[in-house]
Amino acid sequence: MKLAILSDTHGLLRPEVTERLKTADVILHGGDINKQSIVDQLQQYAPLYVVRGNNDKEWAEHIPHDLTVTLDGVTFYMVHNKKEVPADLSGVDVVVFGHSHKYVQGEKDGILWLNPGSCGPRRFHQEITMMMAELSDGNLQVEKISIPHEAT
């Protein structure tokens, strides 16, 4: 199973991102989508699991604040802001979050923590990134995708 993991699109789906989405079996989005049309676009590519970010206002009231989903035997906990992850992560294998626009891939206490960074408009002089991951037999292999951008 091929996963596209992204966050902080802030109203922009870049062509380099949509090319990757075409190969995904599932999309995980860590919030700050900014408009319903982005959700609609993402749903055209693959089943979408999405959480609401701090910039997702009234239009996104139907989108959950946090979400737990199990794919191919691996349980993902999703929330936009890492500070809002609960202390008890019993049964969780992977935490997916966003908000900081900084790419994170690391393990702590047997749990994989993933922040795909931001693949929307460039902010805070951060690189533009997302993740592609291969999920097979309960094993997750994550690849960082850096998207070329104009220097600002």
The model's pLDDT over 16-43, given as tens digits with 9 standing for 90+, comes to 999 999 999 999 999 999 999 999 999 9
Query: For 76-96, what is each residue's pLDDT tens digit?
Result: 999 999 999 999 999 999 999
Whether residue 61 has pLDDT greater than 60: yes
Which residues pair with residue 2 across a beta bridge?
134
The answer on pLDDT for 59 being more than 70 is yes
Q: What is the pLDDT of residue 83?
A: 97
Neighbours of 66 (CB within 10 A): 16
Q: How far is the C-alpha of 62 from the C-alpha of 79, rounded, in Å?
A: 15
The pLDDT assigned to 124 comes to: 66
Domain boundaries, given as residue ranges, for the chain: 2-147
Structure tokens at 48: 């979408």
Helical segments of 1-152, H only: 15-21, 36-43
Q: CB-side exposure of 109: number of CA atoms within 13 Å?
A: 7
115-130 confidence digits (pLDDT tens) = 999 998 887 678 899 9
The whole model's pTM is what? 0.94
Q: Which CATH superfamily is domain 2-147 in?
A: Metallo-dependent phosphatases (3.60.21.10)
Q: What pLDDT does 152 receive?
A: 42
Residue 150's pLDDT band, with cuts at 50, 70 and 90, is low
Strand 128-136 to strand 111-115: parallel, antiparallel, or no bridges (unpaired)? unpaired
Relative to beta strand 48-50, strand 26-29 is parallel
